[in-house]
Chains A and B, each alone.
Chain A
Amino acid sequence: GQQVKQSSPSLTVQEGGILILNCDYENDMFDYFAWYKKYPDNSPTLLISVRSNVDKREDGRFTVFLNKSGKHFSLHITASQPEDTAVYLCAAGMAGYQNFYFGKGTSLTVIP
C-alpha cells in the first residue's frame, strides 16, 4: 500500500496568501519527514525537512509541522509568491534505514 499520502492533488492561492499542504503516513516507525519542490521538467529538490524529535521547523516563509500521534505533517507557506507555483511532494522514512517514500504531490498555483 501507499506509505505516504497527499490528499489534495491541487491548490490555488492568491499572491500574499497563506497556504497549508498536508501529508499523512502509515508507518509509525518513520522518523524523518521532508517536503520537496518540483518545477515542470525539473527534478524534485529538497525544500525543508524535520526529524521526529521536534514538532516544528521553520525556514523563512516555510514551516513544517509534525503530528506524530496523528501520523500527519504539513507544510505552511506564508506570503505566497508566484514563484512558489510548483508541485510539492512530501516524503517520509526511517532515517536509520535510508528508505524514503513519497506522496503523489500537490500542484500549487499562486495567482498574481
Chain B
Amino acid sequence: DTTVKQNPRYKLARVGKPVNLICSQTMNHDTMYWYQKKPNQAPKLLLFYYDKILNREADTFEKFQSSRPNNSFCSLYIGSAGLEYSAMYLCASSWTGGAPNTGQLYFGEGSKLTVL
C-alpha cells in the first residue's frame, strides 16, 4: 500500500482561528513533507520531518507548526489563519534510509483549506 492519507479533505476556517491538518502513511517512510499549493503557483515547500527532526523553510518559519508523534503521522498546524492561508496543502512522504534522498515522493490527495 503506497497511500498517503490526508484529513480533512476540505476545511473551512474563520480568520484568526486555528487549523490542524493531518497526514498519515503506512509505508514506514522516514521523511514526511508539507507543501502549500495555490492556483497557478508552484507547490511551495513549507517544512519536512526527517525522522523526528523538523526542518522549516526560512520564509514560512513562523507561520506553520508541525508535529510528528510517531513515524506514520504528521500534522500541520496554523495558529491563526489568515486569508492568505487559503490553499491546497499537500503532504508527501519518502524513504531515505539515512542516505541522500533520491527516492520517490508519495503525495496525498491534499487538504483544501478555505479561510473566510
Contacts and interface: CB of A to CB of B under 8 A. Distances in A.
B104 interface: yes
B4 to A, nearest CB: 8
A95 B102 contact: yes
- Chain A: number of interface residues, binned into ranges: 20 to 34
A100 interface: yes
A77 interface: no
Contacts of B104: 45-46, 49
B115 interface: no
A42 B33 CA distance: 17
A21 interface: no
A101 B45 contact: yes
A98 interface: yes
B102 A46 contact: no
B82 to A, nearest CB: 22
Max chain B Cβ within 10 angstroms of own Cβ: one of A6, A49, A99: A99
Contact of B31 (A45, A98, A102): A98
B48 A99 contact: yes
B105 interface: yes
A2 B38 CA distance: 14
A31 B100 CA distance: 10
Interface string A1-28: 0101010000000000000000000000
Interface of B: 4, 31, 33, 35, 40-43, 45, 48, 50, 55, 57, 90, 94, 96, 100-102, 104-110
